[in-house]
């Protein structure tokens, strides 16, 4: 490279940049991957202003609507935080160890079953969409085309509900924090990729804040006395907004992948 | 041009932030990062499907023996956000695949990047490695 003049080097760099432009611009214009969304605050050059204040609904509450993804994968393996050990009842500790030792081979999603809560929001590359309406807040998970409804119309959690993969959720505002309570879970999901287990006694409290247009923060408290002697808290999870884009359909296609695992073609 | 550049920068940002992608199954349960592979051959089939895109490549060894390898990438959605389309790689094309071999020693692998021989273009495969 030393024999190239500065001008030649610049020329090579610009050729590489142009090649990348073609690579990126092609698919981008053909999909709804880049679509200017109304209501997005913008800087003078037209880019989304992620540092702008969080939007508000007509009644003055923060509006959490948007497409979000975890800002990195550090929560995914261990919800409690890197290296943090959560005290468990012996059966739960044994199950957790088995899941860790087998490197997550038997995760429910390998068979196209749902991620647990809040695991479903933790995969960095797969976003979810929040749609906030006056009486409910909807969470649309891109992965597996799943959804969750958090009712804000004043109802209480159902008593003795039919157990559900995503449980039952109600929410209310405490100042600028949205507090969701979830219960009524079916057993079988993992709380995180590492495999923290839960039972049907699981009760989750989530506290969401949107400090600015581009950031969502979530604190999660796990209360499951059948699995954990004490309630515990996850490390604060940070989500980033994906501006000017849309979710993409993602159906888990008939466990097609399962045939490959273990060397199959 | 400015719009195109913004699209490019946004795309690049996504590409960089996409990083470890896998949600569906654990990389470490299936693949061994200590068994890197770098193979060149002809694409025989592409399965552009969730939860993982798979493609197959006929690889000829030094003795002329042909083995059909199976390669896993991220989901189509993650690949779309990283700049791929379903037409980026077609059967019959010669490609070089970088990645990690299956833990069980089979001729399957997890892909980090694919280089297309026809254009020299190197596409990142939304690998699950590291997650």
- B16/A contact by beta carbon, under 8 A: no
Answer whether A105 sits within 8 Å of B20, measured CB to CB: no
| pLDDT tens string A41-84 | 999 999 999 999 999 999 999 999 999 999 987 788 899 988 89
- Segments in B1-131 forming alpha helices (H): 2-18, 27-30, 76-81
Average pLDDT for chain B:
80
Closest CB to A109 among B2, B24, B108? B24
User: Rounded distance, CA A111 to CA A258, Å?
Assistant: 7
Q: How confident is the model at residue B98 (pLDDT cuts 50, 70, 90)?
A: very high
Closest CB to A248 among B22, B30, B77? B77
Question: Closest Cα of chain A to B70: distance in Å?
Answer: 6
Answer whether B23 sits within 8 Å of A248, measured CB to CB: no
User: Rounded distance, CA A263 to CA A117, Å?
Assistant: 31
Q: Show the tokens assigned to A65.
A: 């609507």
Give how many domains chain B has, as a whole number.
1
Answer whether B80 sits within 8 Å of A104, measured CB to CB: no
Answer whether B106 sits within 8 Å of A143, measured CB to CB: no
| pLDDT tens string A227-237 | 999 999 998 99
The winner for highest mean pLDDT among A63-67, A249-253, B2-6 is A63-67
| pLDDT tens string A206-228 | 999 999 999 999 999 999 999 99
pTM for this model (two decimals): 0.80
Reference B108, options B118, B99, B116; nearest CA is: B99
Q: Is B129 a domain residue?
A: no
| Residue A27 predicted with pLDDT over 60 | no
Q: Which residues of B touch A45 (CB under 8 A)?
A: 2
Q: Is B41 a domain residue?
A: yes
Q: How confident is the model at residue B51 (pLDDT cuts 50, 70, 90)?
A: confident
Under a CB-based contact definition with an 8 Å cutoff, are residues B119 and A64 in contact? no
Cis peptide before B128 (omega within 30 of 0): no
Higher pLDDT, A261 or B113: B113
Answer whether A115 sits within 8 Å of B23, measured CB to CB: yes
| Residue B17 predicted with pLDDT over 50 | no
Q: Which domain holds residue B41?
A: 2-124
Q: Which residues of A touch B14 (CB under 8 A)?
A: 242
- B67/A contact by beta carbon, under 8 A: no
pLDDT at B11: 38
Q: Which residues of A touch B2 (CB under 8 A)?
A: 45
Q: Which residues of A touch B20 (CB under 8 A)?
A: 73, 124-125
Q: What is the DSSP letter of A62?
A: B
Q: Is B131 a domain residue?
A: no
| pLDDT tens string B62-95 | 999 999 999 999 888 989 988 888 899 999 999 9
Q: Which residues of A touch B28 (CB under 8 A)?
A: 103-104
| Residue A21 predicted with pLDDT over 60 | no
Question: Closest Cα of chain B to A258: distance in Å?
Answer: 10
Higher pLDDT, B19 or A62: A62
Domain range annotation of chain A: 1-30, 66-259
Q: Is B44 a domain residue?
A: yes
User: Rounded distance, CA A78 to CA B69, Å?
Assistant: 34
pLDDT at B127: 66
Higher pLDDT, A229 or A124: A229
Average pLDDT for chain A:
87
pLDDT at B24: 64
Answer whether A126 sits within 8 Å of B52, measured CB to CB: no
- Residue B117 sits in a domain whose CATH number is 2.40.50.140
pLDDT at A17: 44
Q: Is B6 a domain residue?
A: yes
Question: Closest Cα of chain B to A253: distance in Å?
Answer: 6
Backbone angles phi and psi of A97, in degrees to 5 = -65, -45
| Residue A265 predicted with pLDDT over 50 | yes
Q: What is the mean pLDDT of residues A239-256?
A: 86
Q: Is B130 a domain residue?
A: no
Q: Is B36 a domain residue?
A: yes
Domain A66-259 fold: Lipocalin (2.40.128)
């Amino acid at each position: 490279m030393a024999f190239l003049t500065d001008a030649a080097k610049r020329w090579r760099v610009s050729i590489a940049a142009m090649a990348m432009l073609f690579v990126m611009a092609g698919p981008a214009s053909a999909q709804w991957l880049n679509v200017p969304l109304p209501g997005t605050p913008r800087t003078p050059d037209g880019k989304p202003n992620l540092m702008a204040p969080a939007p508000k609904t007509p009644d003055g509450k923060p509006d959490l609507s948007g497409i979000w993804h975890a800002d990195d994968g550090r929560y995914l393996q261990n919800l409690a935080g890197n290296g943090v050990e959560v005290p468990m009842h012996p059966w739960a500790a044994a199950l957790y160890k088995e899941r860790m030792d087998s490197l997550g081979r038997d995760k429910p999603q390998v068979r196209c079953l749902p991620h647990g809560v809040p695991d479903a929001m933790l995969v960095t590359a797969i976003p979810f969409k929040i749609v906030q309406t006056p009486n409910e807040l909807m969470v649309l998970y891109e992965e597996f085309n799943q959804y969750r409804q958090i009712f804000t119309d004043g109802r209480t959690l159902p008593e003795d509900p039919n157990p559900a993969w995503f449980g039952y959720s109600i929410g209310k505002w405490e100042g600028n924090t949205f507090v969701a309570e979830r219960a009524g879970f079916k057993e079988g999901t993992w709380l995180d990729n590492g495999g923290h287990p839960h039972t049907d006694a699981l009760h989750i409290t989530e506290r969401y804040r949107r400090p600015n247009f581009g950031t969502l923060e979530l604190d999660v408290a796990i209360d499951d006395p059948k699995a954990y002697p004490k309630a515990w808290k996850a490390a604060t999870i940070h989500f980033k907004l994906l501006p000017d884009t849309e979710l993409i359909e993602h159906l888990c296609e008939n466990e097609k992948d399962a045939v490959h695992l273990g060397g199959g073609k | 041009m400015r719009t195109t550049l913004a699209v490019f920068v946004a795309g690049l940002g996504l590409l960089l932030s996409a990083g470890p992608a896998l949600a569906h199954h654990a990389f470490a349960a299936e693949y061994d990062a200590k068994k890197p592979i770098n193979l060149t051959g002809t694409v025989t089939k592409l399965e552009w499907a969730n939860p993982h895109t798979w493609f197959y490549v006929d690889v000829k060894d030094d003795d002329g023996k042909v083995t059909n390898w199976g390669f896993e990438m991220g989901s189509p959605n993650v690949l779309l956000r990283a700049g791929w389309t379903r037409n980026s790689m077609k059967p019959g094309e010669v490609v070089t695949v970088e990645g990690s071999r299956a833990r069980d020693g089979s001729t399957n692998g997890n892909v980090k990047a694919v280089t297309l021989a026809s254009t020299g273009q190197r596409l990142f495969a939304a690998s699950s490695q590291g997650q």
